[in-house]
Every structure is written in C-alpha cells, then in structure tokens.
Structure 1
Amino acid sequence: MGKLLPKIISGGNYTDDRGQLEFFNEFDMSPIKRVYFTTHFDTDVIRAWQGHTIESRWFICVNGSFTVKLVEIDDWEHPSDDLKVYEYELSAEKQEILYIPNGFVNGFKALEANAKLMILSNYGFNEIENDQIRFDQNKWTKWDKN
C-alpha cells in the first residue's frame, strides 16, 4: 500500500420545501475519536505550520471560508525548504471534507471574519505523546495578511 495523500471527500445536499439536508455519505467516520472547532475572529490570524507524524485529521469548514495549505515532511528534524505546498480552499457553502494524512503539516487562514473549522482526529486528546510538531509560519510559503 502506498503513502496516503491529502484528498477532498465530497458530500452533497438535498433541498425541498422543508429545508436543506447536507450529507457526507461516502465518508467513513469509523477512525474518528475526537472532534473540535477553531474559529478565526478576523482574517489576520494564521495557524501554520503544525503537523503530526502519527495522527491524521479531517477539516470541514462550517462557517465562512479558509485557505488551507499542506506540506508533506521529508525529515521531521530538518525538513527541506523547497517541499511541495498543496493548497485548498474550504468553504461552508460546499460539502467538502479535506483529509490530511499523518506525515503532513498544515497551515490555515480565514478568508472571512468568524470563519470556523470543524476538525476531526483519529486519536483522542493526549493519547499520543510528542506527536505535534511546529515550524515557522513562513517556512514554505508567504501568507498574505488579507
């Protein structure tokens, strides 16, 4: 089995006179152990770069929109400066889940004030010791403030 790569898991919606139903019928939630949310009150906040050698995550935008960037780490102690940056835009208007496999760092920035991400993890809080690794926010890309 090859290395897992980030991917978008598409959902859908159905609308009738009673309202709208949004769904992710193709999303297997069996590995999920934890769910939490992060809200960015303004578009100046940048959360980058943090990642996990063991834990995987799934991002769902539930309000507003975000730019999310991912980098696959080649060496956790001394990563290369020229690694490929994967870029995604997540929006609450779309039914999409971004899968981030272990081995990647992520960075994200709200494109609208009060944007909110739901983050799912396949490990419980503090279940794995020393698995969160951080790097300078400008190591692989520059982040626009607006």
Structure 2
Amino acid sequence: VEINKNISDKRSYMVDSSKLLKTGFEFKFTIADAIKEIRVSPTALEMHKGIYSNLKLAERVYIAKNIGMRDLRLIQGGIAVDDRGCLNFANDFNFYGVKRFYQVQNFSTSTIRAFHGHLKEAKYVYVAKGSAIVAAVELDDVKSPSKNKKVNRFILSDKKPQVLFIPPKYANGFRPLEDDTRILFFSTSSLEESKDDDYRFPVDYWGKEVWEIENR
C-alpha cells in the first residue's frame, strides 16, 4: 500500500455497481467470500510479502470456490525413454491451488497410513518411486461417516506416472507395495490451515479388504 500525499483532490464521492448490473453482468464472488477466505487463510493479509496482494486474495477466493467443485480424478503422465535414460512426466498437472508439498516414505510395506480427511483441503498424490495402493472415500459426515460409501482404490506406480487429485470432503490413505516407496503430496492448504481441517478414521473403517492384495 502506497500513500501519495501530492494528490490535492479533496472531493468525497461514492460509487456503486448498479449501472454495471443493469447490463446483465453478474459477480461470481462477493466481499463475504473474500472475508471468509481471509478468516481461513490469514496469509492473504501479509501485504509486506511480495507474493501476497489483493490480486492474490482474489486468486485464493477463486481457487477456494472452484477446487471443491472438481471431481476425484487421475491426471495421466508418461515415461520418455532414450539412450540416455528415462524421464517421468505429468505435463497436465499444473499445481492448481497448491500451497505446499511433502514426501512420505514408510519403513515397512505392512504399514498403512489411513484414513485422513479434510473438508476444505484438496490434495494431489504422486508416487515418485515404487508403488502404492491409494484409497479415497467421500465424506458425508465427519463425525460418523457412512460405511456404505464407495471406496475408490488406485494403484499408483513410478512405472506408470499419474497424479491423483483428491478433492475436499474426502478421506484418503495409502499402503506402499514396494520397499523404499516414496509418495509426494501436494496440498491446497497451508500447514496452519490443515490443522483446523483434520479428521481421522481407523485404517479398517471402510473394511480391511481395501488394503489387501488379490491373488489372481
């Protein structure tokens, strides 16, 4: 914010958007939406940091409104191989809404990390090394979610690069299938925001078969 003391205009006036609205224009977001975003993401007010601004706040409001309307989906990647080696990629993953990332590596393939849910936070999951079962189930209630909800089960592997998008209002978890499996999580919430949007459920809440390997 910059104050210019050289401006000599002393007039007081008020503007509104009535003429604009008469043309049929509709606002997608309101001041109330911005206030709500500020409450859950106070970093939007850290104006002393170059990355934060009114434009950044508007962007965050847009993302917060739209991220929840996106469906659970796989973003396809691929592998390019030549005489020099291999290159794994996911060119359609644009890091939409991402605020942070972290990598998880279990000591044992028998260790299951599940279930962990959010109402506001979305995640992108990518297996950088090895392979894993990743499960996601929609939450109809955070205190006592229905056990009849469909459990979406995915096998992610570095041999077939894919990024799994898990929208808000889902619980998720994973089990590594290989030693030294490494999984990257890209989150749309900061660590502080995530702490107030954290819901845990037992690993077998939706059944033990979710994590079993079927012989066939």
Identity %: 37
Partner residue in 1 for 2:198? 132
TM-score (norm 2): 0.63
Structure 1 residue corresponding to 2:81, chosen from 15, 30, 44: 15
Q: What CA distance in whole angstroms lies between the structure 1 residues aligned with 2:100 and 2:186?
A: 6
Report whether the alignment pairs 1:98 with 2:137. no
Partner residue in 1 for 2:41? none
Partner residue in 1 for 2:189? 123
RMSD: 2.0
Summarize the alignment of residues 52-71 of structure 1 with structure 2, pairs less than 5 Å apart: 52-71=118-137
Give the gaps of 5 or more residues in structure 2: 1-65
- Residues 66 and 128 of structure 1, relative CA distance in 2, 3 Å threshold: closer
SS of the residue corresponding to residue 109 of structure 1 reads strand
**Which one has the largest radius of gyration?**
2
Note the alpha carbon deviations across 1:62-99, whole angstroms, 9 max, x for none: 11110011110111122112111100000111110011
Q: Which has the higher helix share?
A: 2
Partner residue in 1 for 2:26? none
Q: What CA distance in whole angstroms lies between the structure 2 residues aligned with 1:10 and 1:4?
A: 16
TM-score (norm 1): 0.90
Q: What CA distance in whole angstroms lies between the structure 2 residues aligned with 1:130 and 1:84?
A: 26
Letter in 2 for 1:54: K
Structure 1 residue corresponding to 2:143, chosen from 52, 72, 77: 77
SS of the residue corresponding to residue 126 of structure 1 reads helix
Letter in 1 for 2:122: S
Report whether the alignment pairs 1:44 with 2:110. yes
Partner residue in 2 for 1:89? 155
Q: State whether residues 41 and 115 of structure 1, in contact with CA within 8 Å, keep that contact through their aligned partners in structure 2.
A: no
Q: State whether residues 79 and 160 of structure 2, in contact with CA within 8 Å, keep that contact through their aligned partners in structure 1.
A: no
Note the alpha carbon deviations across 1:46-75, whole angstroms, 9 max, x for none: 111111100000110011110011110111
Deviation at 1:128? 4.2
Q: State whether residues 48 and 137 of structure 1, in contact with CA within 8 Å, keep that contact through their aligned partners in structure 2.
A: yes
Q: Which has the higher strand share?
A: 1
Partner residue in 2 for 1:110? 176
- Residues 121 and 42 of structure 1, relative CA distance in 2, 3 Å threshold: same
Q: How many residues align?
A: 146
